[in-house]
Structure 1
Amino acid sequence: MACHEPRLRLPFPSHLRKIVLVGNPNVGKSVFFNALTGLYVDVSNFPGTTLEINHGQVGNDCIIDTPGIYGVSSFNDEERVARDIILAADIVINVVDAVHLDRDLFLTQQLIDMGLPVVVALNMVDEAAREGIKVDHDKLAQLLGVPVVPTIAVKGQGIEELKKAVAYARPGHPIPELEEMLAPLLPKVHRRAETLLILEGDPWIAARHRLKPMDKREEIYLLRRRRVDELVNAVVQEDMSRASFRSILSKWMLKPLTGIPILLGVLYLLYQFIGVFIAQTVVEITEERIMQGYYQPFIQELLDPWLGQGPLGTLLIGEFGLLTMTVTYILGLLLPLVVGFYLSLSILEDSGYLPRIAVLVDRILMKLGMNGRGVIPLILGTGCVTAATITTRLLSTPRERTIATFLLAMTIPCSAQLGVIASMLAPLGPRYVVAYVALIFTIFVLAGTVVNRILPGEPSDLFIDLPPLRWPQAQNVLKKTYTKVALFLREATPLFAGGALLIGLLQVTGLLEVIQALLSPLTVSWLKLPKEAATAFIMGFIRRDFGAAGLYSLPLTPEQTLVALVTITIFVPCIASALVILKERGIREALVIWPTILVLAFLIGGILAHILI
Structure 2
Amino acid sequence: MDCCNISHQIDIPEGARKVVLAGNPNVGKSIFFNSFTGVYVDVSNFPGTTLDISSGKFRDYVIIDTPGVYGVSSFNDEEIVARDAIASADLVVNVIDAVHLERDLFLTQQIIDMGIPTIVAINMMDEAKKNGLQINIDRLSEELGVPVIPTIAPKGEGLDKVKNSLHLAEIGNSSIKLTKELEEITKKSTNKAEAVLIMEGDPHVIAKNNVEVIDYREQVYLDRRERVNNIIDRVVTETTDSTSFSTKLGRLMLKPLTGIPMLLGALYLLYEFVGVFIAQTVVGITEETIFIETYEPFIRGIVENFIPESSFIGQILIGEFGILTMSVTYTLGLLLPLVVGFYLFLSVLEDSGYLPRIAALVDRLLTSIGLNGRAVIPMILGFGCVTMATITTRMLGSKRERIIAVFLLGLAIPCSAQIGVIVGLIAPLGVKYLIIYAITIFIVYVLSGTILNKILPGESTDLLIDLPPLRIPRIGNVLRKTYMKSISFIKEAGPIFIIGAIAITLLQYSGILVAIQNAVEPITVGWLGLPKETATAFIMGIVRRDFGAAGLSSLTMTADQTIVSLVTITLFVPCIAAMIIMLKERSKTEAVTIWISSWVIAFITGGILYRVLSLFA
Secondary structure in 2 aligned to 1:341?
helix
User: Which amino acid is the alignment partner of residue 320 of structure 1?
Assistant: F
Preserved contact between residue 6 and residue 88 of structure 2 (Cα < 8 Å): no
- 1:82, CA displacement in angstroms? 2.1
Preserved contact between residue 541 and residue 572 of structure 1 (Cα < 8 Å): no
Give the alignment of 1:230-241 within 5 angstroms. 230-241=230-241
1:357 corresponds in structure 2 to: 358
- 1:32, CA displacement in angstroms? 4.0
Aligned residues: 587
CA gap 1:584/1:459 in 2 versus in 1, 3 angstroms: farther
1:128 corresponds in structure 2 to: 128
CA gap 1:581/1:230 in 2 versus in 1, 3 angstroms: same
Secondary structure in 2 aligned to 1:73?
coil
Secondary structure in 2 aligned to 1:170?
coil
In the alignment, does 2:504 pair up with 1:536?
A: no
CA gap 1:330/1:562 in 2 versus in 1, 3 angstroms: closer
Secondary structure in 2 aligned to 1:307?
coil
Preserved contact between residue 5 and residue 84 of structure 2 (Cα < 8 Å): no
Secondary structure in 2 aligned to 1:294?
helix
Cα distance in structure 2, aligned partners of 1:502 and 1:42: 46
2:388 corresponds in structure 1 to: 390
Preserved contact between residue 175 and residue 224 of structure 1 (Cα < 8 Å): yes
1:11 corresponds in structure 2 to: 11
Cα distance in structure 1, aligned partners of 2:54 and 2:147: 26
User: Which amino acid is the alignment partner of residue 498 of structure 1?
Assistant: I
Runs (5+) with no aligned partner, structure 2: 42-49, 541-546
User: Which amino acid is the alignment partner of residue 135 of structure 2?
Assistant: V
Cα distance in structure 2, aligned partners of 1:316 and 1:526: 35
In the alignment, does 2:444 pair up with 1:443?
A: yes
- 1:599, CA displacement in angstroms? 1.0
What does the per-residue CA deviation read over 1:251-307, in whole Å, with 9 as the maximum and x for residues that have no partner?
323333322222221221121111211122211221122212222222233324513
CA gap 1:236/1:196 in 2 versus in 1, 3 angstroms: same
Preserved contact between residue 2 and residue 87 of structure 1 (Cα < 8 Å): no
What does the per-residue CA deviation read over 1:459-479, in whole Å, with 9 as the maximum and x for residues that have no partner?
676665544333333333222
- 1:225, CA displacement in angstroms? 4.0
User: Which amino acid is the alignment partner of residue 235 of structure 2?
Assistant: V
CA gap 1:325/1:564 in 2 versus in 1, 3 angstroms: closer
User: Which amino acid is the alignment partner of residue 586 of structure 1?
Assistant: L
1:510 corresponds in structure 2 to: 511
1:416 corresponds in structure 2 to: 421
User: Which amino acid is the alignment partner of residue 603 of structure 2?
Assistant: F
1:274 corresponds in structure 2 to: 274
1:265 corresponds in structure 2 to: 265
CA gap 1:314/1:405 in 2 versus in 1, 3 angstroms: farther
Give the alignment of 1:313-332 within 5 angstroms. 313-332=314-333
Cα distance in structure 1, aligned partners of 2:174 and 2:448: 49
- 1:133, CA displacement in angstroms? 0.1
Cα distance in structure 1, aligned partners of 2:101 and 2:461: 22
CA gap 1:515/1:78 in 2 versus in 1, 3 angstroms: same
Secondary structure in 1 aligned to 2:288?
helix
Instruction: Name the stretch that deviates more: 328-337 or 447-456.
Output: 447-456
Give the alignment of 1:465-480 within 5 angstroms. 465-480=466-481
- 1:196, CA displacement in angstroms? 3.5
Cα distance in structure 1, aligned partners of 2:75 and 2:87: 16
User: Which amino acid is the alignment partner of residue 581 of structure 1?
Assistant: A
Give the alignment of 1:70-85 within 5 angstroms. 70-85=70-85
- 1:407, CA displacement in angstroms? 2.5
Preserved contact between residue 410 and residue 570 of structure 1 (Cα < 8 Å): yes
Cα distance in structure 2, aligned partners of 1:510 and 1:115: 77
What does the per-residue CA deviation read over 1:506-532, in whole Å, with 9 as the maximum and x for residues that have no partner?
2122221222122122345544x3xx5
What does the per-residue CA deviation read over 1:535-569, in whole Å, with 9 as the maximum and x for residues that have no partner?
22432443444565577535x8x6x8876654344
Preserved contact between residue 368 and residue 450 of structure 2 (Cα < 8 Å): yes
Cα distance in structure 2, aligned partners of 1:129 and 1:68: 24
Instruction: Name the stretch that deviates more: 62-71 or 219-228.
Output: 219-228
What does the per-residue CA deviation read over 1:191-214, in whole Å, with 9 as the maximum and x for residues that have no partner?
343244345454433332346876
**Pick from 579, 582, 585: which aligns with 1:582?**
579
Preserved contact between residue 20 and residue 93 of structure 2 (Cα < 8 Å): yes
Cα distance in structure 1, aligned partners of 2:483 and 2:563: 39
Secondary structure in 2 aligned to 1:322?
coil
Give the alignment of 1:214-613 within 5 angstroms. 221=221, 224-304=224-304, 306-376=307-377, 378-379=379-380, 387-397=385-395, 403-413=404-414, 414-421=419-426, 423-424=428-429, 436-451=437-452, 464-523=465-524, 525-527=526-528, 529=529, 533-542=531-540, 543-546=547-550, 553=557, 566-572=567-573, 578-586=575-583, 588=588, 591-607=592-608
Give the alignment of 1:30-41 within 5 angstroms. 30-33=30-33, 37=36
Preserved contact between residue 51 and residue 81 of structure 2 (Cα < 8 Å): no
CA gap 1:278/1:224 in 2 versus in 1, 3 angstroms: farther
- 1:151, CA displacement in angstroms? 3.6
Cα distance in structure 2, aligned partners of 1:474 and 1:100: 26
In the alignment, does 2:206 pair up with 1:209?
A: no
1:103 corresponds in structure 2 to: 103
Give the alignment of 1:24-173 within 5 angstroms. 24-33=24-33, 37=36, 51-59=52-60, 61-153=61-153, 154-157=155-158, 159-160=160-161, 163-164=164-165, 166-167=167-168, 169-173=170-174
Cα distance in structure 2, aligned partners of 1:34 and 1:526: 63
Preserved contact between residue 537 and residue 547 of structure 1 (Cα < 8 Å): no
Secondary structure in 1 aligned to 2:263?
helix
Preserved contact between residue 42 and residue 54 of structure 1 (Cα < 8 Å): no
CA gap 1:131/1:569 in 2 versus in 1, 3 angstroms: same
Cα distance in structure 2, aligned partners of 1:6 and 1:97: 27
What does the per-residue CA deviation read over 1:193-250, in whole Å, with 9 as the maximum and x for residues that have no partner?
3244345454433332346876765665555445433432332211121122223223
Cα distance in structure 2, aligned partners of 1:161 and 1:566: 58
Preserved contact between residue 343 and residue 481 of structure 1 (Cα < 8 Å): yes
- 1:54, CA displacement in angstroms? 2.2
Instruction: Name the stretch that deviates more: 589-598 or 314-323.
Output: 589-598
Preserved contact between residue 393 and residue 401 of structure 1 (Cα < 8 Å): no
User: Which amino acid is the alignment partner of residue 319 of structure 1?
Assistant: E
User: Which amino acid is the alignment partner of residue 15 of structure 1?
Assistant: G
- 1:341, CA displacement in angstroms? 1.9
What does the per-residue CA deviation read over 1:39-88, in whole Å, with 9 as the maximum and x for residues that have no partner?
6x799xxxxx98252232434x4443333322213355543332112111
Cα distance in structure 2, aligned partners of 1:167 and 1:108: 17
Preserved contact between residue 51 and residue 78 of structure 1 (Cα < 8 Å): no
Cα distance in structure 2, aligned partners of 1:90 and 1:304: 74
CA gap 1:472/1:150 in 2 versus in 1, 3 angstroms: closer
- 1:597, CA displacement in angstroms? 0.5
Cα distance in structure 1, aligned partners of 2:176 and 2:214: 18
Cα distance in structure 2, aligned partners of 1:332 and 1:157: 50
CA gap 1:127/1:438 in 2 versus in 1, 3 angstroms: closer
CA gap 1:200/1:280 in 2 versus in 1, 3 angstroms: farther
Preserved contact between residue 42 and residue 55 of structure 1 (Cα < 8 Å): no
Give the % identical residues.
Answer: 50
Cα distance in structure 1, aligned partners of 2:78 and 2:143: 30
2:175 corresponds in structure 1 to: 174
Cα distance in structure 2, aligned partners of 1:565 and 1:332: 20
Cα distance in structure 1, aligned partners of 2:361 and 2:600: 34
- CA RMSD between the two structures: 3.8
